Structure 1
Amino acid sequence: MTKKVAVILSGCGVYDGAEIHESVITLLRLDQRGAQVQCFAPNIPQLHVIDHLTGEQTSETRNVLVESARIARGQVKDIREADVSEFDALIVPGGFGAAKNLSNFAVEGDKCTVQPEVLALAEAFAEAGKPVGLMCISPALAAKIYGPGVVCTIGNDAGTSAAVVKMGGTHEECDVHDIVEDTQRKLVTTPAYMLATSISDAASGINKLVDRVLELTHANDH
Structure 2
Amino acid sequence: MNKKVAVILSGCGVYDGAEIHESVITLLRLDQRGAEVQCFAPDVAQLHVVDHYSGDEMNETRNVLVESARIARGQIKDVRALHAADFDALIMPGGFGVAKNLSDFATNGAGCSVQPDVLAACKAFADAGKPVGMMCIAPALAAKIFGAGVACTIGTDHDTAAALTQMGAEHHECEVSEIIEDRQRKLVTTPAYMLAQSIAEAASGINKMVDRVLELAHH
Q: How far apart are residue 98 of structure 1 and its match?
A: 0.3
Aligned partner of 2:179 in structure 1 is 179
| 1:179 alignment partner AA | I
1:91 aligned to 2:79? no
Give the equivalent residue in structure 2 for 1:4: 4
- Aligned residue type for 1:217: A
User: What is the rounded CA distance, in whole Å, between the counterparts of 2:2 and 2:172 in structure 1?
Assistant: 32
- Structure 2 counterpart of 1:170: 170
Give distance in 2, aligned partners of 1:117 and 1:90: 15
Query: What CA distance in whole angstroms lies between the structure 2 residues aligned with 1:64 and 1:193?
Result: 21
Alignment of 1:50-199 (within 5 A): 50-199=50-199
1:176 match: secondary structure: coil
Q: Secondary structure at the match of 1:14?
A: coil
Q: Gapped runs of 5+ residues in structure 2?
A: none
Aligned-residue offset at 1:148: 0.4
Report SS of the residue matched to 1:159: helix
Equivalents in 1 of 2:210, 2:142: separation in Å?
17
* Shift in Å, 1:60: 0.9
Per-residue Cα deviation, 1:158-184 (whole angstroms, up to 9, x for no partner)? 110000000000000000000000000
- State the Cα distance separating 1:192 from its structure 2 match: 0.1
Q: Distance in 2 between matches of 1:76 and 1:159?
A: 34
Give a deviation string over 1:80-101, Cα, whole Å, max 9, x none.
1111100000000000000000
The whole-number CA distance in structure 1 between the counterparts of 2:194 and 2:83 is: 30
Percent identical among aligned pairs is 73
Distance 1:131 1:168 in 2: 20
Secondary structure of the residue aligned to 1:210 is helix
Distance in 1 between residues matched to 2:63 and 2:77, nearest whole Å: 13
Aligned partners of 2:2, 2:179: CA distance in 1, in Å?
24
Q: Deviations over 1:159-213 (max 9, x none)?
A: 1000000000000000000000000000000000000000000000000000000
Q: Aligned AA for 2:51?
A: D
Partner Cα distance (2:169, 2:65) in 1? 29
SS of residue matched to 1:40: strand
Letter in 2 for 1:161: A
What is the aligned length?
A: 219
What runs of 5+ residues in structure 1 fail to find an aligned partner?
none
Measure, in 2, the Cα distance between the counterparts of 1:117 and 1:81: 9
Q: Distance in 2 between matches of 1:94 and 1:82?
A: 19
